[in-house]
A and B are shown apart, each in its own frame.
Chain A
């Protein structure tokens, strides 16, 4: 293509660029003096010191040249002097995509080092939005965006699945507290608190919902969760699509208004907190009439007001805290989580650097959705891994679900001896629950004692994984809880045992030599005799999720990310087997 003609998509990108650049972006695009102060601030640069294409100033120049050429007079008069340039082909648009999506997590650490006040993340996000508007984006970004546009949440959780999970967590809470009034109220009008969550909690971590419900219940809060418009995350922040940002924020705000809620409490999620509380009203052009608050502040307030009593001796394992970029650097939320931690854990160890200087988890508010960039992401995660290791802690706490996934992935990759938790987990665990006069939960008299004690009694479970340690761990947990367990280290054995044993459930690893989990899953579903057996995918490679969902067969009944602890495994197995 000649330099005088532009592809249709490139033309649309240039057109939209001139409408999207606001004063804040223009300042960041015009002010850079290429001093290099941003370079050492970026975890991608630190992990790739010989590759200049990761330097924030270099990445910004890919966008700056367009601004100079099409919007700034210097670029029209002396283009060679100010390095102005344009974009002509779809290939060049794809190269830009690789930079803005694949070489930056928009963590904004470079911005705090810039003496000129350049906020590269603002410019980078704008460039992402331009590409998305012409359909150029990584596959994972497209999937998540479409899920949130059409289903109303980032993970495509259907309404029945969401309500079923809340129901399940209500039952768990009632049993734990032996209190029939301990429920999750749905769509209750005129509450003090409307609680919104991240769909990841429904899909992979329902324990955080139960922990929050326990805290609200014990604090005596008048609270509710909405049946719709419940997702407080907003992929528009990551993809740069302001229309998506506005639509998602509006759905949540309108629901809180419909319920006449006085306060919207946002569960622990960095990008959810920033997009809902800080950016959403602008995207949605919505005058929000209620208070919005992070659940971290809510929990801390309950303790300060004496509505919750906590005992830090219940959390003795050494803990460190990872500041989410969106919470800390972009929203200034870094002292409250530390104050709460000091109340609920015995051994807190600071990570260095910290607060707004902290390094990104590499999950970057949505970066985990782009499997094609996983190797780059994990390579850059060495910076975070070294930070974590130096603390000597065994648990890293974070108030962000993207960080939970990012940290979990890098901990596994760099073989660190650590677990990831959230403040809601530690606070719930530290609660001092005073004895209440409660109606006992009835246990049918006909159920033998051993059956009541062992929740999986009589169930046959086939565990499929190529790692012997995992086979042993899962088998022990499930066996200790009454299940009869058989093991398969590969696909062929799995199919043989499934036909022979007809188990009640199969737990299936995805990444295995020979016949991978995706093929095994499809073979199970296509075999009329085995198609009805529930399958729980348990994988250490979340990016392989597409192997399952792209197949022309019904999706699995459950999905868990490794590492998985015994409690999570048991909870999910019980849910799939309808034993809760």
Chain B
């Protein structure tokens, strides 16, 4: 199950699977501000990736909401992990904070010269970000980034299950009608 959309000079791909098991250049973990790897994807990264990732995170110490840090991928199939600290549990200004966090991840990937980065449904699930808001904000941040920068040409959204997949699918389907037309219009 997958789909993709060309957006400006890049591509947004939607797939379904376990993001911590992807063979990609980098993937994003929705992290805590203390950067501790815990439960869920955190434990999967610690188990599959080995102790190096934790040691790197301990040296960094922490990060603020709306920012992201990069570590190696240890024994993971991915070369790098981007640890992004996003908003959680109905906190104020969810949308703006999530947008900022997305751009922080993408800009960090660009600065590090990464050509491919995979995102989970950021903050949806345990942290309670509503899926429609999550899908809207993530895709609009991706489009904004791809409009401005040509680095990181491949952005992947890795949905965990059909429930997460569906809202991204519908947003990406509507994206074809709006953004490609807009780009075409600009080009002409």
**Residues of chain A having any CB pair with chain B under 8 Å:** 8-9, 12, 133-135, 142-147, 149-152, 156, 158-159, 243-244, 246-247, 250-251, 254, 525, 549-550, 552-555
A158 to B46, CA, bound (A): 12
CB distance from B30 to the nearest CB of A (A): 9
| Majority secondary structure, A binding face | helix
| A552–B54 touching, CB < 8 Å | yes
Partner of A134, one of B89, B160, B162: B89
Partner of B47, one of A142, A158, A550: A158
| B38–A247 touching, CB < 8 Å | no
| B38–A158 touching, CB < 8 Å | no
9 further A-B contacts with Cβ under 8 Å, apart from A150-B44, A247-B161, A553-B54, are A133-B90, A133-B128, A135-B88, A135-B128, A142-B39, A151-B18, A156-B43, A553-B51, A555-B47
| A150–B40 touching, CB < 8 Å | yes
| A550–B38 touching, CB < 8 Å | yes
Partner of A135, one of B58, B89, B160, B163: B89
A135 to B87, CA, bound (A): 11
- 7 nearest CB pairs, A to B: A150-B40, A135-B89, A146-B39, A146-B40, A149-B125, A552-B54, A143-B39
CB 8 Å contact bits of B38-71 with A (1 = contact, 0 = none): 1111111011101100110010000000000000
Q: Which residue of B lies closest to A284 (CB)?
A: B163
Q: Which residues of A contact B185 (CB under 8 A)?
A: none
Partner of A156, one of B39, B50, B91, B160: B39
Partner of A145, one of B50, B126, B161: B126
CB distance from A226 to the nearest CB of B (A): 13
A250-B162, A254-B162, A552-B58 known; A151+B128 contact, CB < 8 A: no
Partner of A251, one of B48, B88, B126, B161: B161
Instruction: Flag whether B113 is at the interface (Cβ < 8 A).
Output: no
Q: Which residues of B contact A134 (CB under 8 A)?
A: 89-90
Q: Which residues of B contact A143 (CB under 8 A)?
A: 38-39
Q: Which residues of A contact B160 (CB under 8 A)?
A: 150, 152
**Residues of chain B having any CB pair with chain A under 8 Å:** 18, 21, 38-44, 46-48, 50-51, 54-55, 58, 88-92, 125-128, 160-163
5 CB contacts below 8 A, A to B, read: A135-B89, A146-B38, A158-B48, A159-B21, A554-B47
CB distance from A128 to the nearest CB of B (A): 14
A159 to B162, CA, bound (A): 18
Q: Which residues of A contact B40 (CB under 8 A)?
A: 146-147, 149-151, 156
| A552–B43 touching, CB < 8 Å | no
Q: Which residues of B contact A8 (CB under 8 A)?
A: 91-92
CB distance from B170 to the nearest CB of A (A): 17
Q: Which residues of B contact A251 (CB under 8 A)?
A: 161
A408 to B115, CA, bound (A): 52
Q: Which residue of B lies closest to A159 (CB)?
A: B18
Partner of B51, one of A150, A156, A243, A552: A552
| B43–A549 touching, CB < 8 Å | yes
Q: Which residues of A contact B92 (CB under 8 A)?
A: 8
CB distance from B37 to the nearest CB of A (A): 8
CB distance from A75 to the nearest CB of B (A): 25
Q: Which residues of B contact A243 (CB under 8 A)?
A: 128
Q: Which residues of B contact A246 (CB under 8 A)?
A: 163
A150 to B21, CA, bound (A): 12
CB distance from A196 to the nearest CB of B (A): 16
| B18–A146 touching, CB < 8 Å | no
A126 to B128, CA, bound (A): 16
| A150–B88 touching, CB < 8 Å | no
Partner of A150, one of B41, B47, B58, B163: B41
Q: Which residues of A contact B42 (CB under 8 A)?
A: 146
Q: Which residues of A contact B21 (CB under 8 A)?
A: 159
